[in-house]
Amino acid sequence: MTIKITNGLSPEWYALGADPETRFHLRPLTEAEKLDVQMEYDASRKSMTGRGVMIAVRSCVLEWEGIVGADGKTLPYSLDTLERLPVTVLAEVGSRIFQLSFHTEAQVKN
């Protein structure tokens, strides 16, 4: 049996919602990370648990643009700051990571 290792999909910049100034640089999950995330799938709700989303987000957000603190100053990417983002933002970014990770490049573009 031959096992073929693929290069996977490339990282991409993802603009949050309708705001092109708030962007996240994302990479797809590795195969090992996919195993961890898939363990967090809730079949009864047909959705990923919050823990699964956070595994993906912590692993696959490389950097960001347009994230500011209460004082209006730009915040550099950090895991601490990442975990303070609103749950709706984390869910949207996690959803995009899943799209990047579980689809072919052609499917992601469509």
Rounded Cα–Cα distance for residues 96 and 23 (Å) = 12
Q: How far is CA 65 from CA 15, 49, 59, 72, 77, in A?
A: 9, 26, 17, 13, 9
What average pLDDT does the segment 58-77 reach? 95
The sign of the torsion formed by the CA atoms of 62, 68, 71, 72 equals: positive
pTM for the whole thing?
0.82
Nearest to 16 by CA among 83, 58, 64, 71: 64
Give tens-digit pLDDT for 77-99.
999 999 999 999 999 999 999 98
Give tens-digit pLDDT for 1-54.
776 665 567 899 999 887 788 999 999 999 899 999 889 888 888 888 899 999
At residue 106, the pLDDT reads 60
